[in-house]
Amino acid sequence: MKLNEAATRREDVVAREVGDETMLLDLATGTYYGLNAVGGRFWQLLEEGKTPAQARDALLEEFEVEPPVLDRDLEALLADLADKGLVRTG
């Protein structure tokens, strides 16, 4: 999934910070999904209504990471979240 595509969290997915991780819980299936600090911040930005591209830009300002590395990792994360039904795309 590309960062210029729309993605929003499903309403029945809740997130809680646990230490340095963000835990997602799909209330419909009871499935947990863990995110590291960068992934958790990405999720938080999506919850705030940012597009994936806007969230990426914010993460580049907040974390020391090379843009191509972040792009690759976020696209993989978005694809995984979509595959697991945690975000709606399109």
Arithmetic mean of pLDDT, 64-76: 96
Checking if the pLDDT of 34 tops 90, the result is: yes
Percent of the chain topping pLDDT 70: 100
Pull the structure tokens for residue 83.
């595959």
CATH number at residue 20: 3.90.930
Write down the pTM of the prediction: 0.91
Count: domains in the chain: 1
Specify if 49 maps to a domain.
Answer: yes
At 30 the three-state DSSP class reads coil
Domain that holds residue 74: 7-85
Longest dimension (CA), the chain: 36
Flag whether 2 is in a domain: no
Q: Say if 90 falls within a structural domain.
A: no
Q: Is residue 14 part of a domain?
A: yes
Helix runs in 6-86, H state only: 37-47, 52-62, 67-83
The pLDDT of residue 9 is 87
